Amino acid sequence: MRAELNKGLIDFLKASPTPFHATATLVQHFEAAGFQRLDERDTWAVETGGRYFVTRNDSSIVAFRMGRQSPLSGGIRMVGAHTDSPCLRVKPQPELQRQGFWQLGVEVYGGALLAPWFDRDLSLAGRVTFRRDGKVESQLIDFKLPIAVIPNLAIHLNRTANEGWAINAQNELPPILAQVAGDERADFRALLTDQLAREHGLNADVVLDYELSFYDTQGAAVVGLNGDFLAGARLDNLLSCFAGMQALLNTESDETALLVCTDHEEVGSSSACGADGAMLEQIVQRLLPSSEDYVRTIQKSLLISADNAHGIHPNYADKHDANHGPKLNAGPVIKVNSNQRYATNSETAGFFRHLCMAEEVPVQSFVVRSDMGCGSTIGPITASHLGIRTVDIGLPTFAMHSIRELAGSHDLAHLVKVLSAFYASHELP
């Protein structure tokens, strides 16, 4: 099971270079399992025992299985994750021609570790909006081939490079696509028009706009002398999206179960399709149109917010509290913060620990050092919007927000097992 899950995650990451592609890949899996698409603009007819999903902005998804009994009876078992990852996004007018090279201006999305982006074989993917036969359409594209690179400056010209230097995102990050003749004018939108034709057979009249991200073409892989690790891009947080999908697809229960994977977590979640928007709340309200039933159900429900945790790095062990250093391949981590950067409380943590014990899944705890700041997740945001009890958990990883992150190859199976038990549980605290 472990090898099969890791292979499935590697394939999922390859198919999901952007939040748009991640959501499309999730849709493919859910449709193959018999889930029906619901359109938010239509009237819904949701049936007991039915399986459904809703997307918004092509980059966020809520998938759910209606229980055989009303959610008012036993609440809703929810798992939350996010589809976006830090990256470099192409600016609206990106063409740069310097020293005979064609480059693209980029904007840093989220809190990216920038140094690992240098000297990588980069490709480009995302959503393109265009006009065709007088109508406005959108389509996902993925160049797949390595079409760009951000070369480092040689050590001979930057003798202090290994002492650390501040990377200037405006000047030092524009990737190089090609060499151009002095009188040749680079046209990025023409390049996108050609890609639409090559990839989809679409003859666009004009490209109107786009949301495109660079990504590393090196695929994810199981690595290490004994295959102990899983290395790849966007483990934060497509790893949790994949685990939540696997758990929802592989469990049956009388209770209602839901997976929500939203965009824009890395930039604060404040969008129509982010956790700080109304998407999840509006969908649950449509399932429970009575305001009293809605509140009663939410108070019987529980959310597991699944996002990666900081594993204790052997070279930087002093960055952790000595008693709270999660280890790779030692199971999921319960994340705690007294200042509510995580939404965990003793009851929700206790219930998650109970699930792990019952399933013989190892479990760990993480608290940031008292003299360091703490990141956050969709957990507190969703808890405050819905009023739902929440536990923040995640799998330990290294190099979070790098272009290539590292997780334990045993931990995905641990997470899928405990999330499956959660979805199948008959009683919540």
Question: Is residue 223 assigned to a domain?
Answer: no
Binding residues for Zn(2+): 82, 156, 401
Phi and psi based region of residue 19 (left: phi greater than 0; alpha: psi -120 to 50; beta: remaining): alpha
Let me know whether 91 and 56 are in one domain: no
pTM here?
A: 0.97
Compute the distance between CA of residue 310 and CA of residue 396 in angstroms, rounded to an integer.
5
315 and 406 both lie in a single domain:
yes
Binding-site sequence positions: 82, 156, 401
pLDDT given at position 184: 83
Are 17 and 133 found together in one domain? Answer: no
Say yes or no: 369 and 397 in one domain.
yes
227 assigned to some structural domain? no
Are residues 399 and 272 part of one domain? Answer: yes
* Domain termination residue (choose one: 186, 214, 242): 214
Q: What share of the chain is helix, strand, coil (3-state, %, to 5)?
A: 30, 30, 40
* Residue 123 resides in a domain: yes
Instruction: Grade residue 79 by pLDDT with cuts at 50, 70 and 90.
Output: very high
Domain assignment present for residue 96? The answer is yes
Per DSSP, 117 falls in state: G
Same domain? 203 vs 287: no
Torsion over CA: 35, 36, 40, 44 (sign): negative
Burial class (CB in 10 A: 0-12, 13-18, 19+), 388: buried
Domain co-membership, 56 together with 110: no
pLDDT tens string 257-274: 999 999 999 999 999 999
Residue 387 within a domain: yes
Q: Of 185, 214, 243, which residue is a domain's last? A: 214
**Statement: residue 181 has pLDDT above 90:** no
Whether 23 shows a pLDDT value over 80: the answer reads: yes
3-state secondary structure of 392: strand
The better pLDDT of the pair 252, 304 is held by 304
Closest CA to 342 of 300, 311, 308, 313: 308
In the chain, how many domains are there?
2
Residue 34, in any domain of the structure: yes
147 vs 124: CA distance, rounded Å = 8
pLDDT band at residue 73 under the 50/70/90 scheme: confident
Judge whether 220 lies within some domain.
Answer: no
- pLDDT value, residue 138: 98
- Shared domain for 268 and 306, answered yes or no, is yes
Q: Are residues 52 and 101 in the same domain?
A: no
pLDDT over 90, % of the chain? 93
CATH number at residue 281: 3.40.630.10
Q: What is the mean pLDDT of residues 284-305?
A: 96
Reply yes or no on whether the pLDDT at 253 is more than 90: no
- Banded pLDDT at 327 (limits 50, 70, 90): very high
User: Do residues 394 and 279 both lie within one domain?
Assistant: yes
Specify whether 150 is located in the same domain as 35.
Answer: no
- Strand 176-179 to 135-142 pairing: unpaired
Contact 105, 174 (CB under 8 A): yes
Q: Kindly state whether residues 247 and 388 are assigned to the same domain.
A: yes
Domain edge (last residue) among 158, 181, 214: 214
Which pLDDT does position 183 carry in this prediction?
Answer: 80
> Which domain covers residue 174, as residue numbers?
85-214
Q: What is the CATH number of the domain that holds 104?
A: 2.30.250.10
Average of per-residue pLDDT across 327-349: 97
225 in any annotated domain? no
CA-nearest of 410, 242, 415 to 329 is: 410
Q: What is the CA radius of gyration of the chain?
A: 22
Looking at residues 290-313, what average pLDDT do you find?
A: 96
